[in-house]
Structure 1
Amino acid sequence: MLVIGAGGLGCEILKNLALSGFKDIHVIDMDTIDISNLNRQFLFRQTDVGQSKAFTAAKFIMERVSGVTVTPHYCKIQDKSDEFYLEFMVIVCGLDSVEARRWINSKLFELLECGGVECLKPLIDGGTEGFKGQSRVIIPGESSCYECSLDMLTPPTTFPICTIANTPRLPEHCIEWASVLEWPRVRKGETLNGDNPEHIEFLYTLARNRAAEYQITGVTVSLTQGVIKHIIPAIASTNAIIAASCCNEALKLVGSLNPYLDNYMMYMADHGVYTYTFSHEKKEDCPVCGTEPVTSVVDRETTLEEWIQSWPHVQVKAPALSTRTSKLYYSAPPQLHEFTRHNLEKRMCDLVEENDVVFVTSPSINFQLRLRVCFK
């Protein structure tokens, strides 16, 4: 059994699996323990701050549950080979990263495609956001995949530059002003680190003064760090419920005890205790498990840059775009960026023909997106 993530959800999953009788568990996590983790990540203590989450969690579980072997891996999931993932019967994810989920999802579909049914590895995915959570079972080649449901995610909160620069109304506006506009001006060339207390204190002071100027209340150090790091408040009880669901599905899959979840369970506790289970359908134009390109309807006069900015459903960083005959735009390396950046200002109708397929790659995903351009 492989558990990906040893944070709030991962700690619950590891504890549940060990107490449910699983004897050989591996856990992979690239993170170290921060003091802010201790209120809900109960496998860690204050003396563990700064240590690897994977190694500390493995040690704690093996000390408390006899007969269990937990093998830790302190690294990124991308650092492991295909052979590593083929060792496991089931993979359980307790991640807080969309990018990491997309990567492991497409990796398991890639293993099935290359190796056939012998390489089929079920994926159980859990996620929480405050009082809301979800668990799902993904059977590569049979069920819909994580990429199929990407449009169900809450889009990242962004604030218009004009608002944060001229007419702030919320404490978050003041914090964004401090980080987006003032930091590069005052601390030229220095990379902002959301885990550096001095950086957070610097931004907090700027944001607090800005808020006072506009009679805005609510700027705190914790809110400042939350906005900078895009932190979603974690509720321990939500983690426990979603982890229980994930481990219940692991028992079903390994022991054939009952039919497994088909295939998506949503938990909502902000207005009571409510769950809803449904079968999320495959998308024919899913870039991982589908066969058709995604259709993108665009105005002929839209520039390439405007088209890229209109992609909330695609969610890629530093994209590279090309057709079968030309390079449209490359974010990197610098030589290709310099060679193609002038295309950003060109109209779509000058770059592609009706029904042309644009291929999109990105360092944040390990598969290729295909977008079929249709003009309005």
Structure 2
Amino acid sequence: MADLDVPQSKSRDLDKLLLRHGNLVDPGFFPGPQLRDDIREFVKILVVGAGGLGCELLKDLALSGFRNLDVIDMDRIEVTNLNRQFLFRLEDVGKPKAEVAAKRVMERVSGVEIVPHFSRIEDKEVEFYNDFNIIALGLDSIEARKYINGIACGFLEYNDDDTPVRDTIKPMVDGGTEGFKGHARVIMPGVTPCFECTIWLFPPQVKFPLCTLAETPRNAAHCIEYAHLIKWDEVHKGKSFDPDVPEHMKWVYDEAIRRAELFGIPGVTYSLTQGVVKNIIPAIASTNAIISAACALETLKIVSACSKTLTNYLTYNGGEGLYTKVTDFPRLDDCLVCGPGILIELDTSITLSKFIEMLEDHPKLLLSKASVTYGESNLYMQAPPVLEEMLRENLSKPLYDLMGRVQKDTIHVSGTSLKDKERQSIQTKLRVVFKGADVVTDMDTAIGA
């Protein structure tokens, strides 16, 4: 009974992982109090998203010994969030999610410092993301994941033998949930498949033909999308629809009800209207908790090497029992995002304008309206207009001169891909070699020759 009087350390379970050796640890694991203290003092984690999964991630990471956290989210709290985003209360409705989530976790976990960012991820400078050791994703958007994936892979550099430079690898831990299903994955750019390497894992988003919406609606979602995509523009000419404005959403709901009554279609509710218009994925608190725990553990394993990391994709299905499976997906060697970059040979006289035109015809790129960056310098940017005007004079200059007359180096380009109907934005690296250098070996991939 005397043992009951001994105070228990708040980190005793964490200490079991970090203070002693084991059979599943990585070779670089050095257990001891110094490791635990270094994680608390020096490791910085960015949590992207402060929704159902993001709230759980913040809590789990704070309780796992991480003391320097940032969280970024552009949304404000809504009443519909309260059933699963446990850090929020009724009095928080209308407040920024990131700010409230950070405040609540700091109130509950002593010593943790969380910096909130009420912002779009696109509004942050690229170097903002480079300041973190790991980026943890709690997102419900494929486009947002692709953006962060492009940012993280943009920091990646390669050696001459096309092996990644270890210090430039920006690890990401990604989680996602839908109902009783979820996934957790570890992305080590240049080592494991990045988000683009496995984009096929995500089914295409449901899109309804406009003719069906206008002429033959068959379900409640058709009625809602008719009000959203067609009726709104007819009535509010020139006025943009904002899904975060309650009056706008209520208008769409009322119009959808009238449309449904006209065709005798049941099932239109306000919550369904929000779900269809905002593409809300159904979420369950318990699934968020399970996936968040997996992501937090993988984050701890990456920074400490206390165990081997996930290789590299975990799926969870709680709909029919409890089922998990780990899959080792392969990385695409020629991935435009995480790969070493397409080899391009150019003449030293090629202007930046001609180079941008070439990108549209390159069979592996088909990149329209490209922006070009070299090192820390923007050579040309399509937007914003002020920046485009400032850099316009570069278009007539030789790319060779703009790159400082180096024989070979890597540049970054971004633009709209013409390879599919979606016309998606992509960011990629190109290995530019100017004629006269003796390092070009694969002429089949060259352009401009």
Give the TM-score, by structure 1 length: 0.77
Aligned match of 2:6: none
Whole-angstrom distance in 1 between the partners of 2:428 and 2:189? 18
CA contact (8 A) 1:360 1:369 kept: no
- Match of residue 188, structure 1, among 226, 237, 240: 237
Q: Tell me by how many angstroms 1:82 deviates.
A: 4.0
1:200 equivalent to 2:244? Answer no
SS at match of 2:260: helix
The one-letter amino acid paired with 1:246 is C
1:94 equivalent to 2:121? Answer no
Q: Tell me by how many angstroms 1:291 deviates.
A: 6.2
CA contact (8 A) 1:125 1:137 kept: yes
The one-letter amino acid paired with 1:323 is D
Q: Could you say if the C-alpha distance between residues 142 and 52 of structure 1 is closer, same or farther in structure 2, counting changes exceeding 3 Å? A: same
1:361 equivalent to 2:416? Answer yes
Whole-angstrom distance in 2 between the partners of 1:111 and 1:368? 11
Whole-angstrom distance in 2 between the partners of 1:50 and 1:214? 36
Aligned match of 1:2: 46
User: Which aligned pairs between 1:346-357 and structure 2 lie closer than 5 A?
Assistant: none
Q: Tell me by how many angstroms 1:288 deviates.
A: 0.8
Whole-angstrom distance in 1 between the partners of 2:165 and 2:310? 23
1:298-333 CA-to-partner distances (Å, cap 9, x unmatched) read: xxxxxxxxxxxxxxxxxxxxxxx82269x9976999
Aligned match of 2:265: 216
1:71-112 CA-to-partner distances (Å, cap 9, x unmatched) read: 222222333334433332222111122122111112122112
Give the TM-score, by structure 2 length: 0.65
Aligned match of 1:61: 105
Whole-angstrom distance in 2 between the partners of 1:330 and 1:121? 28
1:135 equivalent to 2:184? Answer yes
CA contact (8 A) 1:361 1:368 kept: no
Identity %: 50
Gaps of 5+ in 1: 294-320, 336-358
Whole-angstrom distance in 2 between the partners of 1:160 and 1:54? 36
Aligned match of 2:169: 120
Aligned match of 2:329: 280
CA contact (8 A) 1:99 1:364 kept: no
Q: Tell me by how many angstroms 1:135 deviates.
A: 0.6
Whole-angstrom distance in 1 between the partners of 2:127 and 2:224? 45
The one-letter amino acid paired with 2:360 is S
CA contact (8 A) 1:133 1:268 kept: yes
SS at match of 2:47: strand
The one-letter amino acid paired with 1:322 is E
Whole-angstrom distance in 1 between the partners of 2:121 and 2:229? 30
Aligned match of 1:227: 276
Q: Tell me by how many angstroms 1:243 deviates.
A: 0.2
Q: Tell me by how many angstroms 1:360 deviates.
A: 5.4
Whole-angstrom distance in 1 between the partners of 2:185 and 2:325? 12
- Match of residue 21, structure 1, among 41, 51, 65: 65
Aligned match of 2:93: 49
Q: Could you say if the C-alpha distance between residues 85 and 176 of structure 1 is closer, same or farther in structure 2, counting changes exceeding 3 Å? A: closer
CA contact (8 A) 2:415 2:426 kept: no
SS at match of 2:174: strand
1:31-63 CA-to-partner distances (Å, cap 9, x unmatched) read: 222222111111111222222222211111111
Whole-angstrom distance in 2 between the partners of 1:74 and 1:366? 25
- Match of residue 269, structure 1, among 314, 318, 322: 318
1:178 equivalent to 2:216? Answer no
Structure number, greater radius of gyration: 2
Q: Could you say if the C-alpha distance between residues 328 and 77 of structure 1 is closer, same or farther in structure 2, counting changes exceeding 3 Å? A: closer
CA contact (8 A) 2:69 2:113 kept: yes
- Match of residue 361, structure 2, among 323, 329, 339: 323
CA contact (8 A) 2:191 2:331 kept: no
1:156 equivalent to 2:200? Answer no
CA contact (8 A) 2:249 2:274 kept: yes
- Identify the range of structure 1 (142-151 vs 199-208) with the bigger mean alpha-carbon deviation: 199-208
1:162-182 CA-to-partner distances (Å, cap 9, x unmatched) read: 222222111111112222222
Count of residue pairs brought into register by the alignment? 319
The one-letter amino acid paired with 1:233 is P
SS at match of 2:156: helix
Q: CA RMSD in A?
A: 2.9
User: Which aligned pairs between 1:29-48 and structure 2 lie closer than 5 A?
Assistant: 29-48=73-92
Aligned match of 1:71: 115
